[in-house]
Chain A
């Protein structure tokens, strides 16, 4: 059992249950997400890790039949309260999806969209700076600086995903959620994204859902293992991979099932 340390925890989820209609998808999950670290959520398909991730920015609200019970505290505020302003929440919690999903607009418009709707820039010059800074932080600037006004869907898959990361960080969130961000990418693009995540860790709290054991081991400091809607084990990544305390965890990471 991991001791919940309120000082370094960004998000503390306590007794989270999620139901899709009558079917329960998550059972009493309690987990803390450490600030400015990468936490990976691993587990076989259908184990509820993506569902859990989507609790942090209330994307589950989009599914009519989905109900989330329990307490999810972020900076002392319960983000699972029904009356919470989700627009405010999503300003602080950005998300990168499994499949790159840039808007079918120009690269510039993609990055500028968030800052525009949140009123972060008053002049064109300020906006230019935000766009450049975001693209630089996503390690994409040098590749695309001459084609900012081309349509984003013309980029390669890896570039599109980094564009989505740049778009997510353009509004300076505190947390970035990544839902299998590399599953649609080739190994070279994956390596670039992983490198990028390691740098982003200095400024952002990152939660990543991944199917790749190696990726979890490479990028994350903390790992949580889910199975059939239950949180089986969580802790330091090293400890989980070297010396898991649960038999199921060991079976999964050694490739015996999943």
Chain B
């Protein structure tokens, strides 16, 4: 009878444990769902761009080329300021002196350039009357997307009644539309939210990760293989092992200081560049990969090593023909985990100057660049509503980057494992 009770108790204990497990997973999933929903609902509008269509007459007289035949190169040298502003002001036939500024402010400050580029792309429009799409200002962009409330008092609104009236007129004429925001991916950072993009930080992140991989992977794998397979076991290697494990737990900002003090101050490497960022991040990734590499070397069955040694293979041959290939899937997983950590790292990059305002897209790893997490940090400090959606959009891009990396690692692992078992 007692035995019966005990059995019931045991089954109950198992059921309870299963319930705890399921509850934990549910809570975790809920958090994840809320997080993704929050990011997505705030950020998806950043992938749309609002265009205002304006009638532009490419008047030869106004451009000072009346009666001449001009090539595209010559067009590029012309002054479009007068033509551009007068085109915008034509939106209101009887515009007062005071409202001129309001009209100009409805557009991104690059309107002159956009009008010029449109002609350079379509030189046949010279002398003709055409409708040109122009980037809307950040505020109107937000109004169009519904992110900016129209019903608050005018004096507290960034868009005044006059601008709203003109905007509504344009909307009713069908002169406002939106399309996929290509410039978010093509532009570098900007002070103006409607023009700001992630090109500099995305390219900067990719370069940093590549530099990081290039520096840390060979070093870490060499160190891991040597320590695990060849090094004698004595107090010195024990000391090294303790230190490597400690290194993995060092706060990342300390590595940033190291990068600042050594890479920039002593070696005089170019500041704010992915080269320095990547090397600094590789210091962080190094212990992670060494630990993963050693753990996966340790996991290779000793019977395989014995088999190779008994065949007369040298230590080196045994290691590189059998042990290392078998440990590769584990080492690669560790590497990807380390790189994913490095990809999301902000603090050390801020210290080595990648937080600077970079409005160019880096061509090489030695050009100044930002990185995705630092870009998120910079934008999150800006007050404009345009930057709020961009922060979320940037997080989405970062997450897609991470998921792609992890998928790549999984695929690689799957392929390698298939080969070896």
Contacts and interface: CB of A to CB of B under 8 A. Distances in A.
Q: Do A and B bind each other?
A: yes
A90 B318 CA distance: 13
Contacts of B326: 104
Interface in B265-320: 301, 303-304, 306-314, 317
A64 B237 CA distance: 15
A99 B307 CA distance: 11
A113 B421 contact: no
Contacts of A57: 310
Given A113-B321, A151-B421, A91 B312 contact: yes
B322 interface: yes
B236 interface: no
B311 A99 contact: no
Nearest to A91: B312
Interface residues of B, number: 19
Contacts, number: 60
A87 B322 contact: no
B304 A62 contact: no
B420 interface: yes
B156 interface: no
Interface string B88-120: 000000000000000000000000000000000
A41 interface: no
Nearest to B232: A64
Contacts of A10: none
Contacts of A162: none
Contact of A101 (B306, B313, B421): B306
B233 A99 contact: no
Interface string A175-192: 000000000000000000
B312 A87 contact: yes
A153 interface: yes
A97 interface: yes
B311 A101 contact: no
Chain B interface, >50% SS class: helix
B182 to A, nearest CB: 49
Contact of A103 (B233, B304, B312): B304
A67 B420 CA distance: 35
Contact of A117 (B233, B301, B310, B312): B312
Contacts of B317: 117
B312 A59 contact: no
Interface string B306-344: 111111111001000110001000000000000000000
B421 A104 contact: yes
Interface in B219-235: 233
Contacts of B311: 90, 94, 113-114, 117, 167-168, 171
Given A64-B233, A101-B301, 17 more contacts: A62-B306, A87-B313, A90-B309, A90-B310, A94-B311, A95-B310, A99-B303, A101-B307, A104-B421, A113-B311, A118-B312, A153-B421, A167-B307, A167-B311, A168-B310, A168-B311, A171-B312
Interface of A: 57, 59, 62, 64, 87-88, 90-91, 94-95, 97, 99, 101-105, 113-114, 117-118, 151, 153, 164, 167-168, 171
25 contacts: A62-B309, A64-B233, A87-B312, A87-B313, A90-B312, A91-B312, A97-B303, A97-B306, A99-B303, A101-B301, A101-B303, A101-B307, A103-B304, A105-B420, A113-B308, A113-B313, A113-B321, A114-B311, A114-B312, A117-B311, A117-B312, A117-B317, A117-B321, A118-B312, A167-B311
